[in-house]
Amino acid sequence: MAEWVYHISLAIADDDKKRFLLLPDGENLTLPRFTLHTFFTHVYVLTREIQQQWGGDMVILRQLIRQRNEETQVMKALLLMDNRTPNWKPPQGSRWVDRAGLDALVLADEWMRPTLVRVLDTLNEAPPAARPAWFLPGWFAEASQWITESLTVKGYKLLQRPEQFKQGTISSVLLAETSSGNVYFKVAVALPLFGNEPELSAALGRLYPDLIEAPLAIDAARCWMLTADIGTELRASKPSVEMMENVVRTFARLQIDSAAQIDTLFAAGCLDRRIDVLVGQIDGLLADEGCYAPLTAEERAAWQASGDQLKALCRQLTTYNLPYTLAHGDFHAGNIALDGDKIRFFDWTDACVTHPFFDLAVLIDFDADGRGEAMRDAYLAEWTAYEPPERLQEAFAIGYILGALHQTVSYQGIFNGVEADQRVEWDTGVPFFARRIMQQLNA
């Protein structure tokens, strides 16, 4: 199989934010760009390449537009940069071009022109309310200063300046390499269905220190936190079926213990997403056609007609003797870490109190790799004090459907909560789970 190729173009504005830098490309002009032939997940791969090629201390603000061709395995992306380099000297032959100049030029990448024009026209305007702080110039410097000061107080010695690790619409992660190991800074956007992750993580770390790492430092008002490295992502470790069974058993035991901690969880900031809340969200979800626009006309009609059946399943699930518990809300193998034999659960932005069986729907969908039944059975074996095995399996089958419904509500909140031009990144979430729900309802 051929490797993906990534063509990365950079929109670098001048100090007055009225011009973009263009470079000669034959008879045309082009944005600064480079090509990567290896898959990457960490933003510092890009910023280090930029530093090497152009000598600038730049950070990525946001992705402006992207083209992805599955057939040719080529991705093209345009990134808006924040150039933090004092007295930076652009490459020889480059030109700063304003809007009028841009209109008069032929670009090597004409498909980017509408986006460039739109962004250049709005660079000096007040940002939309939905735009996260980390998409704005100056934020990285502020966060880096807090990281440095917080680590110094904790006795950590930085080995180099903090770097961008992940930069997304709903969160940003920075990496700080220290003499005591890697430390990660995280901030998440404030959305109606997101809790305050720093406060939640601190509280959960106190309740379950063997399973959830408490932050080293938090700034609750800004939703900032620093967390020590907790091991290797479960997904990256290519876990055995025995390990996956151990993970779900461990998580089940955590949930069972949390059933006696509901008031504490609410006080810590967990959202109330119990079944009666979910029932009240169904009509609004089905009426919100914008969040599931990719569905076909036939799929939309079926989805919009599913409300009564979904509400009936909610009522049915409440007839089983199962308590409400802590739920992770985004429980996949990318949010679980292994440190030797130790299991760590992290990324608690979606944490809530709801039905315990909702979480396994995500983990099995994305990470079971043919081991779903074994994982289900290992998980349910921890719940036999509440119901006999046959009823547990019945409840799990209903929870599997309603767990997907829980996810559609979450993705609806993200889709409607992010800036309009960033919604393309989230327009498949509701359709994906809606299709899975309809498939299960028709099985």
CATH assignment at residue 12: 3.90.79.10
Whether 270 and 406 map to the same domain: the answer is yes
Which stretch of 130-134, 156-160, 338-342, 435-439 has the lowest confidence by average pLDDT?
338-342
Q: Which residues share a beta bridge with 74? A: 5, 69
Whether 65 and 140 map to the same domain: the answer is no
What's the pLDDT band for 2 if we cut at 50, 70, 90? low
Tell me which residue of 410, 408, 392 sits closest to 440, measured CA to CA. 408
CATH code where residue 171 lies = 3.30.200
Residue-wise pLDDT tens digits, 311-331: 999 999 999 999 999 999 999
Q: How many Å is the Cα radius of gyration of the chain?
A: 24
Whether 206 and 279 map to the same domain: the answer is no
Whether 21 and 147 map to the same domain: the answer is no
Q: Residue type for 174, please?
A: L
Whether 381 and 318 map to the same domain: the answer is yes
Residue 272 lies in a domain: yes
Cα–Cα–Cα angle for 233, 373, 409, rounded to 5 degrees: 65
40 pLDDT higher than 90:
no
Whether 303 and 157 map to the same domain: the answer is no
Query: Helices 297-304 and 429-441: crossing angle, nearest 10°?
Result: 70
Residue 393 lies in a domain: yes
43 pLDDT higher than 90:
yes
Instruction: For residues 291-320, give the mean pLDDT.
Output: 98
What's the pLDDT band for 1 if we cut at 50, 70, 90? low
Q: What does DSSP assign to residue 107? A: B
Distances (CA, A) of 267 to 216, 261, 263, 355: 21, 10, 6, 18
281 pLDDT higher than 70:
yes
For strands 342-345 and 336-339, give the pairing.
antiparallel
What does the alpha-carbon distance between residue 154 and residue 231 come to, in Å, rounded to a whole number? 20
Cite the DSSP H helix spans in 212-294. Answer: 241-258, 262-268, 275-287
For strands 224-228 and 181-188, give the pairing.
antiparallel
Residue 390 lies in a domain: yes
Whether 401 and 318 map to the same domain: the answer is yes
Residue 158 lies in a domain: yes
Range of the domain at 373: 238-441
Whether 310 and 428 map to the same domain: the answer is yes
Whether 217 and 242 map to the same domain: the answer is no
- On whether the CB atoms of residues 6 and 36 are closer than 8 A, the answer is yes
Residue-wise pLDDT tens digits, 375-412: 999 999 999 999 999 999 999 999 999 999 999 999 99
Q: What is the percent of the chain where pLDDT is above 90?
A: 90
Q: Residue type for 263, please?
A: D
Q: CB 346: neighbour CB atoms within 10 A? A: 21
Looking at 122, 151, 173, the residue that finishes a domain is 122
Question: Into how many domains does the chain fold?
Answer: 3
What does the alpha-carbon distance between residue 439 and residue 443 come to, in Å, rounded to a whole number? 6
The predicted structure's pLDDT at residue 56 = 84
Residue-wise pLDDT tens digits, 94-153: 999 999 999 888 888 899 999 999 999 999 999 999 999 999 999 999 999 999 999 999
Residue 283 lies in a domain: yes
Instruction: For residues 141-170, give the mean pLDDT.
Output: 97
Whether 154 and 78 map to the same domain: the answer is no
Looking at 196, 228, 260, the residue that finishes a domain is 228
Whether 70 and 155 map to the same domain: the answer is no
Residue 128 lies in a domain: no
221 pLDDT higher than 60:
yes
Whether 245 and 371 map to the same domain: the answer is yes
- On whether the CB atoms of residues 88 and 51 are closer than 8 A, the answer is no
Residue-wise pLDDT tens digits, 183-213: 999 999 999 999 999 999 999 999 999 999 9
Residue 233 lies in a domain: no
Distances (CA, A) of 269 to 51, 272, 350, 400: 41, 9, 11, 25
Looking at 191, 210, 228, the residue that finishes a domain is 228
Instruction: For residues 55-66, give the mean pLDDT.
Output: 93
6 pLDDT higher than 90:
yes
pLDDT, the chain, mean: 95
This prediction has a pTM of: 0.95
CATH code where residue 330 lies = 3.90.1200.10
The predicted structure's pLDDT at residue 28 = 83
